[in-house]
Amino acid sequence: MPSPELAGLAASIDRIWDAGETSDHARALVERVLTLLDRGEIRVAEKTGGTWTVNEWIKKAVLLHFRLSPAQTLRAGDLEWHDKIPLKTGFEAAGVRAVPVATVRRGAFIEPGVVLMPSFVNIGARIGEGTMIDTWATVGSCAQVGRRCHVSGGVGIGGVLEPVQARPVIIEDDVFVGARCEVAEGVLVEEGAVLAMGCFVGASTKIFDAERGCALEPGRIPARAVCVPGTLPAGDGTHGTCAIIVKKRRDAKTDARTALNELLR
């Protein structure tokens, strides 16, 4: 059950959204949502009773922020930007290691023990304890990344703001996303799954379980599946298209190859 404050805030955001309100009061309420997001006290998507649900009102608040806030000049030493969202600060107090030039926008929440190599994390995203976001990886707006994950170099985790009811990409706990993978369009990667280097997964990407000999529903990588990029024939047999192939379930060998060296943390 949401607290009375959250229930009231959700109702106000829905009203501001529907009425197209642009008052200072509206701006203050949107700002309050961003503060709660930034502190990790609310989240865009959460798992309750085994199912992920999207808090649409929070996504609405993030979108409203773009409408209601003017861009401002942001500075770090001699570097300068011009944007509507300030950068997140306070990594030391949060127990997060952020390597220069890791960039996190305010309204993203990073749990303690996360390592951010030079990477980008967008507003509304959430990164769980002990996860590493490796060099030049991007975590899109509202994407949810679980605990003890490795999001390898150059990975793209797609963001989603519109439509508001759209589910963000969700990477559950203990997932390994290999270098240069792209996961987009609300795909759910379940606990402990492994995506080998170069897997591209969207809502329409075909997924074939080679271990069990069957096609799987698109948009969901099953728990502990070890996936590699492959091809599957098109319906008329004239060509093949890129697909995800589940080769096996995670085993000790996979664990050894995907373990992060503790020294790197």
Ligand X SMILES: CC(C)(COP(=O)(O)OP(=O)(O)OC[C@H]1O[C@@H](n2cnc3c(N)ncnc32)[C@H](O)[C@@H]1OP(=O)(O)O)[C@@H](O)C(=O)NCCC(=O)NCCS
Residue appearing with tokens 């728990």 = 223
Pairing of strands 138-139, 156-157: parallel
DSSP state of 264: G
Question: Is residue 159 annotated as part of the catalytic site, yes or no?
Answer: yes
| Helix, strand or coil, per DSSP, at residue 229 | strand
Provide the H-helix boundaries in 69-181.
91-94
Q: Which of 196, 201, 225, 244 binds ligand X (CB under 6 A)?
A: 196
Size of the site for ligand X (CB under 6 A): 16
**Residue 97 or 247: which CB sits closer to ligand X?**
247
The piece of 11-19, 72-80, 160-168, 253-261 that touches ligand X (CB under 6 A) is: 253-261
* Contact indicator for 210, 225 with CB cutoff of 8 Å: no
Q: Which of 38, 134, 190, 209 binds ligand X (CB under 6 A)?
A: 134
Q: From CA 155, how far away is CA 133, in angstroms rounded?
A: 9
| Helix, strand or coil, per DSSP, at residue 24 | helix
197 binds ligand X (CB under 6 A): yes
Binding mask 46-75 for ligand X (x = CB under 6 A): ------------------------------
DSSP labels, 218-234: TTEEPTTEEEEEEEEE-
**Residue 178 or 186: which CB sits closer to ligand X?**
178
Question: Is residue 77 annotated as part of the catalytic site, yes or no?
Answer: no
Q: From CA 203, how far away is CA 170, in angstroms rounded?
A: 12
Question: Is residue 153 annotated as part of the catalytic site, yes or no?
Answer: no
* Contact indicator for 254, 194 with CB cutoff of 8 Å: yes
CB of 117 to ligand X, least distance (A): 9
Which residues, numbered 149-168, are part of the site for ligand X (CB under 6 A)? 152-153
Of 96, 99, 98, the C-alpha closest to 111 is: 96
**Residue 97 or 248: which CB sits closer to ligand X?**
248
Binding mask 170-189 for ligand X (x = CB under 6 A): --------xx----------
119 binds ligand X (CB under 6 A): no
CB of 161 to ligand X, least distance (A): 28
* Contact indicator for 86, 108 with CB cutoff of 8 Å: no
Residue appearing with tokens 């306070």 = 90
Q: Which of 23, 257, 264, 265 binds ligand X (CB under 6 A)?
A: 257
Q: From CA 52, how far away is CA 41, in angstroms rounded?
A: 17
CB of 55 to ligand X, least distance (A): 32
Which residues, numbered 75-104, are part of the site for ligand X (CB under 6 A)? none
Residues of the shown chain interacting with ligand X in the complex, contacts defined by CB under 6 A: 134, 152-153, 178-179, 194, 196-197, 226, 228, 247-248, 253-254, 257-258
